[in-house]
Structure 1
C-alpha cells in the first residue's frame, strides 16, 4: 500500500512538543511533501499523525507562519508559502558583508547626527563628552576595547537624536560593525603610529552636536564614516 507524506512523519518524543512538531512539519515542507501552494492536512489529521494534541499542532503552525513558511486563510485552511524560512533582520545582518552594513550605517548615523545637533539636552552633552573621554582613554587599550569605546561614542550621538527607531536600528548594527572594525584595525595596523586614531574627527563631531550645528555635524560624521568605509573595502 502506498504511503503518503503523513505516514512518514513519525511519532514524537515527549519533550518540547511544539518545537518538535514544527521541526517535523518544516522538514516535510522542505523536502517537497507539500509543495508551495498546497493546502496542509487539517489539524486533526496532523495531530493524529504526529501523536500530539490539536493545540500543539496549532502552535507549531503558528511558528511556521511566523517563519514565512505557511499562511492560514480564514475558512480555507493553511497553505504552504515557501520551502525555506525567511531570514529575520538580525540574521541578514550577520550574513551581510561589513561594507554593505557600513553603507546603511552611514545613512542612519548622518541623519542621527543632524537630529542630535537639534535635540541634544544637557544630559546628552555630558554623555557625549564622557564618551569622547572614554574613547581617548581607550587609546592605551587593545583594538577590541578601542572599538567598543568608539561605538559607545557613536551610540551617544544616536541617543541624542531622541528617536527610538534610529536607536534600535543602530543597536542591531553594532555586532557586525564591531567585528568588521576590529578586523580592519588588526589587519591595517592603523593604531600602530596613532593609538587615538580618528580623535580629531570625533572631537569635531562632538563639538558640532554640542554647538547645535546640524549641517556641520552631519558633514563631519559623513566624512569620517566614508573614510572608514574605504579602509574596510581594502581589507
Structure 2
C-alpha cells in the first residue's frame, strides 16, 4: 500500500455520529442553513458578509439551550474529518484565530474544528445580545480496523474572556448538553477564571485592535474628504 494516497475526510461520519447523540438526547438542533432564531441567523449572515464571504459560511450545527435559571446559551458546533484538525493554538495557548495583523486567520478558522466554532461564537458576541456562548469542535479518523476515533474540544466564549475562549473540560461525547446535565455544565463554565495577567494582555490587545481600526477609519474619512 503506497503512502501517497490522499487521506479521505470522514467529516460526514463524524457529523452522523455526533448528530445521532444530539437526536438521542432529544435536543432541538439545527443544521447549517436551518433557521435557529432571527438574532443568531442574522448575526451569522452579517459576519459572513462582513468578512468578504470567506471563512466558512455557518456552523455545522447550532442550538439554543436554557438552564434552570432561564438563561439561554447558544451552542455552535463545527465538524472536521481529519485526525489532527481539532484545534490550533498560538504561543500563548489561545485559539489561534488572528493573524499578526490582527485580522481573522481564515486558514486556521477553516481548517480546525474548534477554531471555526470559536470564530462563529465571536459573531454572536459582536452582533447579538448573547454574552455567553459554547463553541464545540469535533473531528476524527478511521483507525486500522475501520473504527471511528473521535476527539472533541469544548470552549466557553464570552464577553468576560474577550471572545478568545476558554477550554471547559475534556469530553468524549455531547452528554453534557443533555437537559439533566446542562445545569452542572453551566456551573462549570461559571467557575472558569482567566488569570489576571491574561486579562491584562487581552485588554491591551483589544485596545491595539481598537486603535488600529480608528486609524483605518480616519484614513477612510480623510480619503473621502479629499
Query: Which structure has more strand as a fraction of its residues?
Result: 2
Quickly name the TM-score band, shorter chain normalised.
under 0.3
Larger Rg: 1
TM-score normalized by structure 2? 0.23
TM-score normalized by structure 1? 0.22
Query: Which structure has more helix as a fraction of its residues?
Result: 1
